[in-house]
């Protein structure tokens, strides 16, 4: 779920074709989303042994404003980025927000998976789809670290001290935030990266494959019951930070200045670090963990 870093002004970008649900969300199934919302927290608690959404800070949110939620770390399956907005506890913590999940294009290729994510209202994380979803729904959620962050998932299993690795290279979401007047909101997910692990950890090779093909090959997942894509029973904790407002544009429709993008980007990752420092001890597996920021 990587956020791209385009430089062009949003006003000149061609909009996606109308008949493609991965861009316009037209296959979203409201009844299914409502049913999932009613049952998801109980199911997650049963499967994983616990799930909790914790709000850090008390700044108000409003359905009249725009928000871009960044979800970290990506992990092998960043499933929380997809279902977090359906959880009643998230909606209680962030009143008025119903963020649309943005995902990599690969998720819209396999037939059955494509159907499920389209029913859930997912959209592709291309620039045009990003902007359209933000303008229509007022909020989106994506993984700024993307596949590059995924390469470092194995470091969550380090001994004696776990490392939670956050990738900071991408800035495109901050540029969109400034140009569309959206606040950025850091979201820290604790537990997801311990539910699945890649049996083959060749970071340099996998980082090269991400840069070249957008996927960290080789990729062999181990989860519950051994070699399985089903996640292990590890409790989930999602910590949601306060919205960080963007600097104003010098003129309506103007592109964001690089200095403003850099400043918002720095404030965002500083806030993410504060979330980790303040709340890591609230998850039993992260009390002695270390946050590591990388840009590779």
Say if CB 224 and CB 231 are below 8 A apart: yes
Tokens of 279: 């709340």
Which residues share a beta bridge with 70? 142, 186
- 3-class SS at 66? strand
Q: What is the pLDDT of residue 189?
A: 96
**Distance in angstroms (rounded) separating the CA atoms of residues 79 and 93:** 19
What is the arithmetic mean of pLDDT over 6-16?
44
Q: pLDDT by residue (tens digit) across 35-79?
A: 999 999 999 999 999 999 999 999 999 999 999 999 999 988 888
- In which band, very low, low, confident or very high, does the pLDDT at 252 lie, cut at 50, 70 and 90? confident
Q: Does the pTM of the predicted model rise above 0.85?
A: yes
User: What's the CA gap between 127 and 142, in Å, rounded?
Assistant: 12
Q: pLDDT value at position 277?
A: 97
What's domain 10-294's architecture?
Answer: 3-Layer(aba) Sandwich (3.40)
Q: Which two tokens stand for residue 105?
A: 């294009």
**178's tokens:** 């400034």
Give the tokens for residue 33: 């989303």
pLDDT at 280: 96
Helices marked H in the chain: 21-24, 30-48, 80-83, 88-93, 111-119, 127-137, 146-150, 172-180, 203-213, 258-279
Is residue 181 over pLDDT 70? Answer: yes
Q: Which residue has the tokens 């850099």?
A: 262
pLDDT of residue 228: 78
- Is the distance from CB of 27 to CB of 211 less than 8 angstroms? no
Query: Concatenated DSSP letters for 178-195?
Result: HHHTEEEEEEEEESGGGT
> Any idea what the Cα angle at residue 164 is, between residues 271 and 83, rounded to 5°?
75
pLDDT exceeds cutoff 80 at 190: yes
Q: What is the rounded CA–CA span in Å between residue 232 and residue 48?
A: 7
**Residue 223 DSSP label:** B
Write down the domain spans for the chain.
Answer: 10-294
Model confidence over 121-155: pLDDT tens digits? Answer: 999 999 999 999 999 999 999 999 988 888 888 88
Radius of gyration from C-alpha coordinates of the chain: 18
CA dist 99 and 254 (Å) reads 25
């Amino acid at each position: 779920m990587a956020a791209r870093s385009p430089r062009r002004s949003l006003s000149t970008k061609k909009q996606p074709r109308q008949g493609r649900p991965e861009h316009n969300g037209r296959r979203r199934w409201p009844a299914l989303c409502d049913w999932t919302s009613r049952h998801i927290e109980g199911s997650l608690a049963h499967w994983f042994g616990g799930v909790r959404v914790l709000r850090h800070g008390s700044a108000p949110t409003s359905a009249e404003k725009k928000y871009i939620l960044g979800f970290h770390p990506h992990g092998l399956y960043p499933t929380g980025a997809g279902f977090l907005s359906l959880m009643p506890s998230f909606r209680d913590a962030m009143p008025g927000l119903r963020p649309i999940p943005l995902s990599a294009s690969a998720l819209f290729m396999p037939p059955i998976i494509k159907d499920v994510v389209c029913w859930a209202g997912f959209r592709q994380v291309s620039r045009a789809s990003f902007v359209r979803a933000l303008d229509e729904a007022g909020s989106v959620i994506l993984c700024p670290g993307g596949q590059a962050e995924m390469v470092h998932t194995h470091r969550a299993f380090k001994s004696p001290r776990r490392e939670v690795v956050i990738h900071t290279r991408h800035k495109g979401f901050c540029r969109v935030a400034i140009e569309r007047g959206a606040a950025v909101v850091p979201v820290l997910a604790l537990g997801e990266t311990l539910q699945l692990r890649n049996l083959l950890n060749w970071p340099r090779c996998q980082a090269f494959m991400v840069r070249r093909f957008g996927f960290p090959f080789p990729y062999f997942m181990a989860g519950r019951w051994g070699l399985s894509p089903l996640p292990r029973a590890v409790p989930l904790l999602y910590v949601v930070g306060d919205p960080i407002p963007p600097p104003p544009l010098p003129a309506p429709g103007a592109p964001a200045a690089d200095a403003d993008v850099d400043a918002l980007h720095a404030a965002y990752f500083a806030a993410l670090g504060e979330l980790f420092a303040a709340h890591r001890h609230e998850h039993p597996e992260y009390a002695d963990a270390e946050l590591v920021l990388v840009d590779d």
